[in-house]
Amino acid sequence: MFKRMSALLLVGATVMTMAGCGSGGTTSASQAGPGGGDDKITMGFSQVGAESGWRTANTKSVQESAESAGIDLKFSDAQQKQENQIKAIRSFIQQKVDVIAFSPVVESGWDTVLKEAKNAKIPVILTDRAVDSQDTSLYKTFLGSDFVEEGKKAGQWLVEEYKDSTDTVNIVELQGTTGSAPANDRKAGFAEVIGADPKFKVIASQTGDFTRAKGKEVMEAFLKSNPDIDVLYAHNDDMGLGAIEAIEGAGKVPGKDIKIITVDAVKDGMQALADGKINYIVECSPLLGPQLMDLAQKVVKGEQVPARVVTEETTFTQEQAKEALPTRQY
């Protein structure tokens, strides 16, 4: 009995903290666009799912810009499952769409289906997430954010902010889901920039699983074990928002006593930035629709496109946030 129990518990303990930012089933229904005319470009787009506000904004951007670019979009929601995505791509191939775009649910296992697309002479564009395929001829281009660059931008602001100071700057970091690409890259980019100056010290770094609740919980513990925190760097807005509550609960003023840098720029984060509770946000924009349609048109015409296109992204200070907030789409 006890052997069985401990076995069960081990499994439980391993599984219970594996909460990811892209977990859980989704509810969105697949929808296929109406059949287009012959001169119109038809694009098959397979989305990961609808797991976050960011993803929903991403979907919306693709759908809206397809409409304004006059591209007939066949949209399919993979609900976080690779098999659904492979099915969707195969059906796009059968329907003889002009171009296929998709955000891969996972990195590996795409070679077979991408070869089928290549044999059918349908160009493929990757959006937002990359695949680890050795054969780069399987897709035309990868359009998405550069997470390392985002981390660097965060670090650069910090270096600029403290350029006149010689005191040690104590930094705590809230990482994204352990092992995920955004978490690894945002950490690496940030570390690279601040590593040049020994006054910057990351005194604690822990995962907050990209969620508000974990961000708050971890920050509470940081505040108690490290009495002297100058800067918080959170890998997304949500963890930062959770941490703000923890900082306020500790009787400190977020944005003043502890400076806060986050990545993403979702609406709640921008609001906190405009309110002065966050100091700086590096944008990770889901609005890659217009760029995607532009690339699609070029690819269909047979024009050369760069193998890697970085999403047009910016950064926000508190003043910029106040201006941008009223027109923020997500």
Question: Which spans of this chain sit near another protein (rule: CB under 8 A)?
Answer: 1-2, 5-6, 8-10, 12-19, 21, 23-28, 50-53, 55-56, 175, 178-179, 204-207, 209, 211-213, 216-218, 220-222, 224-225, 238, 241-242, 245, 249-251, 268
d(CA 203, CA 247): 17
* Least spacing, CB of residue 179 vs another protein, in Å: 8
* Least spacing, CB of residue 16 vs another protein, in Å: 4
CB nearer to another protein: give 24 or 195. 24
Report the relative pairing of strands 141-144 and 280-283 from DSSP bridges. unpaired
* Least spacing, CB of residue 130 vs another protein, in Å: 22
CB nearer to another protein: give 67 or 220. 220
Q: Using only C-alpha atoms, what is the Rg of the chain?
A: 22
Classify each residue of 111-141 as buried b or exposed e, where b means 16 or more C-beta atoms within 10 Å of its C-beta.
eebbeebeeeebbbbbbbbebebeeeebbbb
d(CA 172, CA 259): 10
CB nearer to another protein: give 138 or 181. 181
CB nearer to another protein: give 72 or 283. 283
Look-up of token digits 């219970």: 16
CB nearer to another protein: give 244 or 299. 244
* DSSP letter for each residue of 78-89: -TT-HHHHHHHH
**Which two structure tokens, joined as six digits, stand for 59?**
């979907």
- At residue 308, the 3 state secondary structure works out as strand
Give how far the C-alpha of residue 255 lies from the chain's centroid of Cα atoms, to the nearest Å.
24
CB nearer to another protein: give 265 or 299. 265
* Least spacing, CB of residue 313 vs another protein, in Å: 21
CB nearer to another protein: give 179 or 195. 179
Question: Which of 183, 252, 251, 248 is closest to 211 using CA atoms?
Answer: 183
Q: For residue 55, what are the β-bridge partners?
A: none
Residues counted in the chain: 330
- At residue 58, the 3 state secondary structure works out as helix
